Amino acid sequence: MDSFELTKISGAVLSAMLLMFAPKTLADLKGEGHGASHEKPLAGYVLPVAAAKPEAGAAGAPAAAAFDPAAVTKLLAAAKLENGEATFKRCSACHAVDKSAKSGTGPNLWGLVGRKMGSRADFAGYSEAIKAKGGEWTYADLAAFLHNPKGWMPGTKMAVAVTDDAELADLLAYLRTLSDAPVALP
């Protein structure tokens, strides 16, 4: 067999493959093929898609209950410190809690409950919103902030939220212990 014969055979095989794969590829490029379906992927991990939230007041759609910080503060007496400490592990990526530790990405949280908002001297990254808020951190303020940081204080840089009331109460009870003189429970 000479090289011309091999070239013809190779050309025939490649042409056959082109005819087999070209229609599917063209259909995928046009968005009509199987690969274009977002409902049934070919393979791999299916990314979760958030369901559209019904608008408040829409027919048949119940309005979402507003968050009540007082409900969380009522849970503080029965809060479990070990659960709060476990929840805090998510926060420890940005926040230190040792009394002598320097602030990191976020301010050190030692003595947070009862401390003036935006006042930690070794942390320069406070948002203008938190500096302007004023006042001291109360349990109710912390509950509202930690439940929805950007909703309670627009402009804040904090993005992590704790939305479960019991978990939030456990976290607040743990944060309370990070002080020389813990603030009394409400």
Instruction: Please tell me the total count of domains within the chain.
Output: 2
Per-residue confidence (pLDDT) for residue 30, from 0 to 100: 72
Residue 11 sits in the same domain as residue 88: no
Contact in structure between 165 and 71 (CB atoms under 8 Å)? yes
Closest to 154 in 3D by CA, of 144, 140, 167: 144
Calculate mean pLDDT across residues 5-13: 93
Instruction: Note the pTM of the prediction, 2 decimals.
Output: 0.65
Identify the H or E element spanning 143: helix 139-147
Calculate mean pLDDT across residues 161-175: 93
Question: pLDDT band at residue 35, thresholds of 50, 70 and 90?
Answer: very low
Query: DSSP class of residue 67?
Result: P
For residue 119 the two structure tokens come to 């006042």
CATH code, 124: 1.10.760.10
Residue 28 sits in the same domain as residue 80: no
Residue 150 sits in the same domain as residue 82: yes
Residue 31 sits in the same domain as residue 92: no
Residue 75 sits in the same domain as residue 164: yes
Contact in structure between 104 and 122 (CB atoms under 8 Å)? no
Per-residue confidence (pLDDT) for residue 50, from 0 to 100: 61
- Which of the residue ranges 17-31, 108-122, 156-170 would you say has the lowest mean pLDDT? 17-31
Closest to 73 in 3D by CA, of 163, 130, 142, 15: 142
Average pLDDT, the chain: 84
Closest to 157 in 3D by CA, of 130, 175, 123: 130
High-pLDDT (> 70) share of the chain, %: 81
Residue 93 sits in the same domain as residue 158: yes
Helix (H, G, I), strand (E, B) or coil at 136: strand
Per-residue confidence (pLDDT) for residue 127, from 0 to 100: 87
Q: How far is CA 37 from CA 23, 31, 33, 34, 157, in A?
A: 17, 8, 7, 6, 37
Per-residue confidence (pLDDT) for residue 49, from 0 to 100: 63
pLDDT tens by residue, 58-71: 555 555 568 888 89
What is the Cα–Cα distance from 107 to 131, expressed in whole angstroms? 13
What is the Cα–Cα distance from 96 to 108, expressed in whole angstroms? 5
- For the chain, the maximum distance between any two Cα atoms, rounded to a whole number of angstroms, is 95
Helix (H, G, I), strand (E, B) or coil at 116: strand
φ and ψ at 117, to 5 degrees?
A: -60, 135
Domain range enclosing 86: 69-176
Residue 20 sits in the same domain as residue 92: no
Per-residue confidence (pLDDT) for residue 44, from 0 to 100: 56
Residue 97 sits in the same domain as residue 167: yes
Q: Highest-confidence range of 25-34, 73-82, 149-158, by mean pLDDT?
A: 73-82
- State the amino acid at position 43 in one-letter form: A
Is 124 within a domain?
yes
Calculate mean pLDDT across residues 39-64: 56
Question: pLDDT band at residue 132, thresholds of 50, 70 and 90?
Answer: confident
Is 45 within a domain?
no
Per-residue confidence (pLDDT) for residue 36, from 0 to 100: 47
